[in-house]
Amino acid sequence: MDLNHVLVWLSGLTVISWLVALLRDHGRRATSWIITTGAILGLWLAGVFAWPDLAGYVTAGAWVLFLLAPMLGLRAMQALVLRGRYGAALWVARLVAALHPSAGHRAQPQVLSILALQQRGELDRADAAIEALRQRAPGLVALARLTGLRARARWEELVAQVDARPDRDAFLLDEASAGLYLRALGELGRVPELLAGYVQLVHPRNPAGRANHQIYIAALTGQVELVRTLLAGPLAVYGPELGAFWEGTALQAAGDHAAAEALLRPLVTARDFLIRSGAQRRLEQPRPSVDLEALPAEARAVLTMIDAAVTRSVAAAAQARAAAVTPKMTYALLAVMGAVFLAELPGGSEDAGNLYELGALVGPVAQLDGEWWRLVTAGFLHFGWLHLALNGLGIALFGRSLERALGPWRFAAVFLISSVGALAIMLAWSELVTGEPFMLVGASASLMGIVGATVAVTLRRVLRGNMEADRRLLVSLAVVLVVQTAFDLTTPRVSVGAHLGGALLGLVLGLVLAPSSSYDLARAAKATGSDP
């Protein structure tokens, strides 16, 4: 086994799975990503046939550089934008645009540059940058102009510009445009229209981003406790100044002007111009109190729906925290494997004699010479750092979730019984069928046992609830087992029998040991006093 051979399999499988997922879930919305992924897949195919000794390194490097790094960069950029750190987001956007130069990503640095200028209060420079954007990315000019109107609090003009567009409905399908438009309606006191627009434009389309719109709806309608719940929960990433701005706004709309001023007054010296100028306007022109009872029934129903949605979201997050079982057994077993590997190093981790002295399994039985303890010790030894790294990575990946489902001791039973049982099967096979001598080391059988047990646990969930996510996971696990078998058959010095034996034992153990409710959910139920 060598690193290039492993990378050929890993990179090929990863690129193919990414391409399938992009085509299935995104289609034309991810054209540039599909093209890039397809190009890397073509590189992989060419490398397998033209330069097989380098194909793994080349493909893995291309995947990291042109797919993984840009996607991680986009996540980081979105997190920075959410915190209002447009300057830092700008640098990340430039890196993403360099690695993945699609039209949309090339335009992102320009938009973030405009936002950064507006945040600093350099509105004239921002306007000039918007005009320059007309030449480079005309499709983003309208959105950029709306941000300029927001910076100046020209809400009536913002609404009028959107309503005057012939493609108004299509324009508002963009979440950023919809957010600016809806906030403008709220700032103008057009609450029924704001709530109707939220139901139409936001609520059905992006559950993950709802909180960013719910915060100004709650604040502009005077729902102080809902604002505090959002800031303590899904919007905890907001900085203290932005949080104080929205809480102060909610207090004003609720009629508590003294408490509102106590929060808003310190913000007039904030570094962020948008917060500074917004707080100043709130102090100079306090928002009138909102009488929720005077709203139409449809509007009140939307507010009730938002409150219930936030309550469910916060409760789910609390349950997830209660269920956050630290997989200590997984980490402990990985630590034992690491310690055993350190013990191998003085005599050589790839030296057969050294591995034998430390507890490798040998067969047939006559070779074992009564040292049955080797069935246990062999599962913690590894032939070289790559063998250890692959097994350790797999156990870390699959073991944590399985331990959360089974609990630490049942998980440990799967780990040990799969290993000992699979090694015993190989010993019996050598004794009764082949008669050939062998030496085995490694936690691969334990890893495959963990995968097999995960299949069993997931299958039980599918049979109980038939959830789409569980069915997809089941398919993914089946692919893992098939690919692992194919990898074993093409890789020298790998025991296909031990891997298959571990997987089958893990499957049986998972069916037998899996509790009726996942260990982590049971802990959560106990912590919250609810039914699992």
Task: Report the Cα–Cα distance between both ends of the chain, in Å, rounded.
Answer: 45
User: Could you tell me which of 191, 203, 158, 459 has the C-alpha nearest to residue 313?
Assistant: 203
288: left (phi over 0), alpha (psi -120 to 50) or beta: beta
Backbone angles phi, psi at 438, to 5 degrees: -155, 165
222: left (phi over 0), alpha (psi -120 to 50) or beta: left
Which tens digit of pLDDT belongs to each residue from 80-97?
887 778 889 999 999 999
Tokens of 223: 């729902």
Which tens digit of pLDDT belongs to each residue from 431-452?
888 888 889 999 999 999 999 9
Predicted local confidence at residue 173, as pLDDT: 87
Which tens digit of pLDDT belongs to each residue from 94-148?
999 999 878 778 888 988 999 999 999 999 999 999 888 877 777 788 889 999 9
Is 80 exceeded by the pLDDT of residue 50? yes
**What SS3 class is residue 439?**
strand
261: left (phi over 0), alpha (psi -120 to 50) or beta: alpha
Is 70 exceeded by the pLDDT of residue 408? yes
Q: Which residue has the higher pLDDT, 125 or 324?
A: 125
Which tens digit of pLDDT belongs to each residue from 355-367?
999 999 998 888 8
Q: What mean pLDDT do residues 284-310 have?
A: 91
Give the E-state strand segments of 186-309 in sequence order.
Answer: none
* Dist CA 177 CA 264 (whole Å): 27
Is 50 exceeded by the pLDDT of residue 528? no
Which tens digit of pLDDT belongs to each residue from 21-47?
888 766 666 788 889 999 999 999 999
Q: Over pLDDT 70: what percentage of the chain?
A: 92
Name residue, tokens 């709220």.
Answer: 186
CA-based angle 518:521:522, to the nearest 5? 85
- Length of the chain equals 532
Predicted local confidence at residue 138, as pLDDT: 73
Predicted local confidence at residue 134, as pLDDT: 78
Q: What mean pLDDT do residues 292-316 have?
A: 89
Which tens digit of pLDDT belongs to each residue from 152-204?
999 999 999 999 999 999 999 888 899 999 999 999 999 999 999 999 988 87
Predicted local confidence at residue 1, as pLDDT: 61
User: Could you tell me which of 376, 402, 388, 498 has the C-alpha nearest to residue 454?
Assistant: 402
* Dist CA 207 CA 233 (whole Å): 15
Whether the CB-CB separation of 505 and 421 falls below 8 Å is answered with yes
Is 60 exceeded by the pLDDT of residue 532? no
Q: Over pLDDT 90: what percentage of the chain?
A: 57
| SS3 readout for 391-426 | HHHHHHHHHHHHHHHHCHHHHHHHHHHHHHHHHHHH
Whether the CB-CB separation of 8 and 56 falls below 8 Å is answered with yes
Is 80 exceeded by the pLDDT of residue 240? yes
The number of CA neighbours under 13 Å toward the Cβ of 355 is 20
Element housing 362 (H / E) = strand 361-363
Q: Which residue has the higher pLDDT, 488 or 119?
A: 119
